[in-house]
Structure 1
Amino acid sequence: MPMSPYVRSLRERVGHDLLLLPGVTAVIRDSDRFLLARQRDTDRWSLVGGGVEPGETPHEAVAREVLEELGVTPELGAILGVYGGPLLETVYPNGDRVAYITTAFECRLPNTALTLESAELLETGWFTRSDVDGLVRHEWIDTVLDDTR
């Protein structure tokens, strides 16, 4: 995914040093299945989400991310949890170190076709919790999905 202008400006000052960044995650559920997206940059399955931009509330950010990545405006529900720690730390191929703190929101989608952001996503799919265990995925999503029970 492309770097936001805000993060780019921070990187100009701190180089590859660790940045702690706020994020949002959409937990989109249909009965016992969850909507996951396979990301182009890592080829891993994950929940839809991204960074909170300056001046944006987390609610606005998760709605924007779902719209950007799936082409639909979600109906937002409850906050399911806030997550961070070692599983949400990463080093990008260019050496940039990042630790995310993400707020997970329950989201519902309108009954309409999805339009994937092809620069970021390869595909989406609906998976039961047990199906997710067999996917190549970002491991942190397990904790989020387990908290939805």
Structure 2
Amino acid sequence: MSTPEFVLSLREKIGTERLWLSGVTAVVVRGDDLLLVRRADTGAWTPVTGIIDPGEHPADAAARETLEEAGVVAVASRLAAVGVTDEIVYGNGDRAQYIDHTFVMSYRAGDPHPADGENTEARWFALDSLPPLGDEMRRRIDAALSDESAARFGTAAD
């Protein structure tokens, strides 16, 4: 599912005005491998990302999005970072900004595949041979792979 129903309902009321949304990034680790998906909209490789549904716990949202987008069962083991994205303007003019919760996720089961149409590929990458990544996604992955016990706090520009 690309756009949650609650967002579509809000859009009917506010049009393309900026929405402040809660999101997750699921950095799924299996040994020395990292799960990445290739986004259908931009072609970029990223960890699994998604929007938290109203009333949903962020860690549950990360697990749900991982299963929905990549067909992989994973559980959150640590909150690695909390940050704020720059404003995003989508092709249809909709504007949004996200508070992102980046989780380290432990792999449990499943073979990655593009499960819901939001991605064109889903696969494991060795940590020492990741594809090119945007700066913001690299920061999220670095926070997740760190040995820090506390979450990092910052904005996309940090």
> How would you bin the TM-score normalised by the shorter chain?
0.7 to 0.9
Shift of residue 11 of structure 1? 0.9
Give % identity.
Answer: 36
Gaps of 5+ in 1: none
Task: Within 5 Å, give how 1:113-124 maps onto structure 2.
Answer: 113-124=111-122
* Counterpart for residue 91 of structure 1: 89
TM-score (structure 1 length as normaliser):
0.85
TM-align CA RMSD: 2.0
Moved more, 107-116 or 15-24: 107-116
Shift of residue 99 of structure 1? 0.7
- Counterpart secondary structure, 2:65: helix
1:140 aligns with 2:132: no
Shift of residue 128 of structure 1? 4.9
TM-score (structure 2 length as normaliser):
0.81
Gaps of 5+ in 2: 147-158
Task: Count residues with an aligned counterpart.
Answer: 145
One-letter identity of the residue aligned with 1:29: V
- Contact conserved, 2:70 with 2:122, CA < 8 A, in 1? no
Task: Within 5 Å, give how 1:36-115 maps onto structure 2.
Answer: 36-86=36-86, 89-115=87-113
Instruction: Go from structure 1 to structure 2 and tell me whether the alpha carbon gap of 1:36 and 1:15 turns closer, same or farther (over 3 Å shift).
Output: same
- Contact conserved, 1:27 with 1:105, CA < 8 A, in 2? yes
Moved more, 36-45 or 26-35: 26-35
One-letter identity of the residue aligned with 1:142: R
- Contact conserved, 2:25 with 2:48, CA < 8 A, in 1? yes
Shift of residue 32 of structure 1? 4.2
- Counterpart secondary structure, 1:10: helix
- Contact conserved, 2:112 with 2:122, CA < 8 A, in 1? no
Shift of residue 100 of structure 1? 1.1
- In the alignment, the residues of structure 2 paired with residue 71 and residue 5 of structure 1 have an alpha-carbon distance, to the nearest angstrom, of 21
Instruction: Go from structure 1 to structure 2 and tell me whether the alpha carbon gap of 1:90 and 1:138 turns closer, same or farther (over 3 Å shift).
Output: farther
- In the alignment, the residues of structure 1 paired with residue 125 and residue 111 of structure 2 have an alpha-carbon distance, to the nearest angstrom, of 17
Instruction: Go from structure 1 to structure 2 and tell me whether the alpha carbon gap of 1:112 and 1:6 turns closer, same or farther (over 3 Å shift).
Output: closer
- In the alignment, the residues of structure 2 paired with residue 23 and residue 46 of structure 1 have an alpha-carbon distance, to the nearest angstrom, of 14
- Contact conserved, 2:16 with 2:95, CA < 8 A, in 1? yes
Superimposed CA distance per residue, residues 4-47 of structure 1 (whole angstroms, 9 cap, x where no aligned partner): 11111111121111111000111112344422110111111111
